[in-house]
Amino acid sequence: MREQRCRRATKPSNPSTSAASAQTKSMVHAVSIESEHRPSGAHQMEPVLQSARTSAIVIFGALLGAVPGAQAAQQDEIQVYADEINKPGEFTLQMHVNGTPSGITVQGYKNEYLTNGGLRFSPEFAYGLTRDIELGAYVPEGVTDKNGDSFYAGSKVRVKYLPLQPDEEKGGFFAGANIELSSLNRRIQESRAQTELRLISGYKAPDWIIAFDPVFDWSMSHLNGGDTPDFNYGIKATHNVFKGIDIGAEYYSDIGPLNHTYSWSQQDNRIYAVVDIDMKPLVLNLGVGYGLTEASDRWTVKAIFDVPLK
């Protein structure tokens, strides 16, 4: 299944400020869900999305129940890209839901949305253009804060290119890149327009997979240095334990601008215990994450699941 990618926390406008006020998360988790059928019209999509949102809240609630003292909440767009790519002509939808039961409570900039006690959901539509090119769009991305107030977070479009793909039977190396353009509410991201370059790499074996995604972000409004990208990365390693069930870990680190990297305490570093389930029609990724620094949300939960388009 395709994984949700983790979108990094909002950077502080001044890297020298304290860790608590330095990095508050910002993000809206993207979504794409697999299916082999296109919807016949926009009116048919409405009940699908409504059903997807309801299912997302149910799964999210179940995850929260596993975290001691948790309130309703979320964090980022959380995923490591691996070898997943749609086949030519395949149109899919995936729903991402993320919450932060316990997170940072101090804003990094004025009017910033705090993930603490919040929930985010995002449908990601994807279309396989060729064997190694996939188009994607995250529309719309929604956010709910700890008070239950919701607002439109923004939208994103992307192009994934995966020229090196593993053999379906034997496995092998994979490599490619993903370019994304985003236009987000300034409560979510201080720089409303942003460009992301994600490099995709890893190795897939019949019963395990490891993936590494270095990510470079450029602010298109030239905030915080403008031309100097922020750097973050994600690592995923899972092992098959039963037919259709993989367990493992994901690690995410945001080290800040390449010309002025943050100290360890100011970096957003998180580790997730994850379960991938592929028992069609049930296809989902579940994870519980723990923040390792003062600049990280303490607890984060995520759910990513396929929504059939029929």
The predicted-structure confidence for 150-179, as pLDDT tens digits, reads as follows: 888 889 999 999 999 999 899 999 999 999
Write out the residue range of the structural domain in which residue 70 sits.
19-306
User: Residue 14 domain-assigned?
Assistant: no
What CA–CA distance (Å, rounded) separates 5 from 84? 12
Q: Is residue 186 part of a domain?
A: yes
Domain-embedded: residue 107:
yes
**Which comes out higher in pLDDT, residue 148 or 46?**
148
Q: Read off the pLDDT of residues 60-105 as tens digits, 9 standing for 90 and up.
A: 343 333 333 332 223 447 999 999 999 999 999 999 999 999 988 8
Residue 134 in domain: yes
* pTM attached to this predicted model: 0.74
- Check which CATH number belongs to the domain holding 122 and give it: 2.40.160.40
Whether 2 is in a domain gets the answer no
List, for residues 233-261, the tens digit of each pLDDT value: 999 999 999 999 999 999 999 999 999 89
Indicate the number of domains in the chain.
Answer: 1
40 compared with 193, residue with greater pLDDT: 193
